[in-house]
Amino acid sequence: MCLLQIKNLYVKINNQIILKNLNLNVNKGEIHIIMGPNGAGKSTLSLTISGHKKYKIIQGEILFQNNIINNYSIDKRAKKGIFISLQDNIEIPGLNNLFFLYKSTNSIRKYQKKKEFDFFEFKNTVYKKINKLNYSPKLLKRSLNTGFSGGEKKKNDILQILLLKPKLIILDEIDSGLDIDNIKNIANIINNLKKQKKTFIIITHYKKLLNYLQINTIHIINNGTIIKSGNKYLINKTKNKGYECSEKKNK
For the segment 186-231, what is each residue's pLDDT rounded down to a tens digit? Answer: 999 999 999 999 999 999 987 888 999 999 999 999 999 999 999 8
- Hey, which of 92-106, 130-144, 176-190, 219-233 has the most confident mean pLDDT? 92-106
Give strand pairing partners of 56: 12
Q: How many CB atoms lie within 10 A of CB 103?
A: 12
Res 173 pLDDT > 80? yes
Lowest-confidence segment of 9-13, 60-64, 205-209, 223-227 by average pLDDT: 205-209
Q: What are the distances in angstroms from CA 30 to CA 26, 27, 35, 87, 148?
A: 7, 6, 16, 22, 30
pTM for this model (two decimals)? 0.91
Quickly count: other Cβ atoms within 10 Å of residue 231's Cβ.
10
Distance of CA 150 to the CA centre of its chain: 16
Q: CA nearest 132: which of 176, 96, 98, 182?
A: 182
Question: Which pLDDT score is estimated for 237?
Answer: 64
| Beta carbons within 10 angstroms of residue 171's beta carbon | 27
pLDDT at position 250 over 60? no
Taking 90 as the threshold, does the pLDDT of residue 240 lie above it?
Answer: no
Dist. CA 111–CA 192, nearest whole Å: 25
